[in-house]
Amino acid sequence: MSKRALVTGGAGFIGSHVADLFLDNGYEVVIIDDLSNGDRENLPARATFHEMDVGSPQAAAIVEQGRFDVICHLAAQLDVRKSVADPMFDARVNVLASLNLLEAVKRSGAKTRFIFASTGGAIYGDGAPLPSPENVVKNPQSPYGIAKLSVEHYLAYFANVHQMQTVALRFANVYGPRQGLHGEAGVVAIFSKRILAGQPLMIFGDGTQTRDYVFVGDVARAHLLATTIDLPKATDIDARAFNLGTAVETDVNELARTLVASAASPVPIEHAPPRAGEQHRSVVDWSKARRVLGWEPRVAVRDGLARTYQWFSERAEGAPRDAGASASASGAGASASDRSSAAGRAESAAP
């Protein structure tokens, strides 16, 4: 019998790349997404698709009856500003919907590995050592970060009390083909679209703010690797948590210049007043993922930005979805043989 994978938010940016990679590696893939933020065009033709909220009883029933080998839970409310404006909504989507799935796995009795899309910046907060390792003190400064950290505590609980196979992947700023405009790495999509429209790129502040940009294909590959490794004992929330980043800081000025160079475009780069409360530096240490998962980022930022801009350019010219699929495969090393009303979404998680 073929191996079975469930990808929540599989019509979204990261989730669709994860679904593609599992399909390419022989898995039968089921996707749950309510399309409130995902795009039907991202759905792999070979996957089984259910349009529904992952917090619903119907989604729980699919998990309970599906006998999945792995669940990649990427559906989320990912907008930090929205979490500040409506923390109850954020908790309902990011915490309660996750519990809905975890409880369903427990009831199923299946040995399902549950891989959770967490955040590699928002749970550490300002003041953490850089690059931030997994075991630093957690100090989330937004309801979004608090919700992600809360789910990680639940993962440790289900692992210790119910012997469930849980993993947290803490993303840095994920970017690449199929990216939306939300989340901090959404600046890559925003800049790409403005270049294509011949509009100036607007940078808030002096542009020295840094982020750790990791290519979506590399993030997809980490999900596949995390599916079969021998898991460490769940002694605390960090034991089965893995940062996914590059440990390379890229500031906004450099990001803009690199995209403009990739496009060979003369669009100007302009500056506006800084936004209040913006984290100035964020970069993660991914050495634990290398040791335990056998993972490393393969796509350098300059190459990944060029691929991403090319994808947006081809889309503007009417290229088919396959352009994005091939970009995912090349970044992931696949083998041959936001904001709206529910939880079925997956965009790049804000760090």
The H-assigned helical ranges of 86-205 are: 87-91, 97-108, 143-162, 186-196
> Of 257, 264, 242, whose CA–CA distance to 313 is shortest?
264
Alpha-carbon gap, residue 226 to 166, rounded angstroms:
10
HSE-up (13 A, CA, CB side) for residue 57: 0
Q: What is the pLDDT of residue 335?
A: 30
The secondary element (H helix, E strand) that includes residue 252 is helix 252-263
Residue tagged active-site, from 27, 144, 175, 309: 144
What's the DSSP call for residue 139?
A: -
Residue 27 is a catalytic residue: no
Q: Are 38 and 9 in contact (CB under 8 A)?
A: yes
Average pLDDT over residues 337-348: 32
Q: Residues 191, 267: contact at Cβ < 8 Å?
A: no
**Cβ–Cβ under 8 Å, residues 79 and 38:** no
pLDDT in tens, 119-146: 998 899 888 899 999 999 999 989 999 9
Mean of pLDDT values over 43-57: 98
| Most confident option among 170-184, 221-235, 275-289, 318-332 | 221-235
Distance (Å, rounded) from C-alpha 240 to C-alpha 232?
6
Dist. CA 182–CA 200, nearest whole Å:
19
- CB neighbourhood size of 348 (10 A): 30
Distances (CA, A) of 246 to 29, 219, 341: 29, 11, 33
Distance CA 201, CA 133 (A): 33
314-318: long-range contacts at Cβ-Cβ below 8 A with a sequence spacing of 24 or more? 316/196
Average pLDDT over residues 69-78: 96
Q: What pLDDT does 185 receive?
A: 65
Q: Where are the alpha helices (DSSP H) in 279-321?
A: 287-288, 301-316
Residue 161: Cβ-neighbour burial (10 angstroms; 0-12, 13-18, 19+): exposed
Of residues 344 and 90, more confidently modeled: 90
Work out the angle at residue 113's Cα, subtended by the Cα atoms of residues 18 and 63, and round it to the nearest 5 degrees. 85
Query: What pLDDT score was predicted for residue 340?
Result: 31
Of the listed ranges 122-126, 254-258, 332-336, the least confidently predicted one is 332-336
Q: Structure tokens of 295?
A: 């993972």
Could you give the C-alpha distances from 251 to 215, 280, 303, in angstroms and in order?
Answer: 16, 9, 16
Q: Specify the fold of 4-175+216-245+285-298+321-332.
A: Rossmann fold (3.40.50)
pLDDT of 278 over the 90 cut? no
Nearest by Cα to 36 from 57, 61, 58, 55: 55
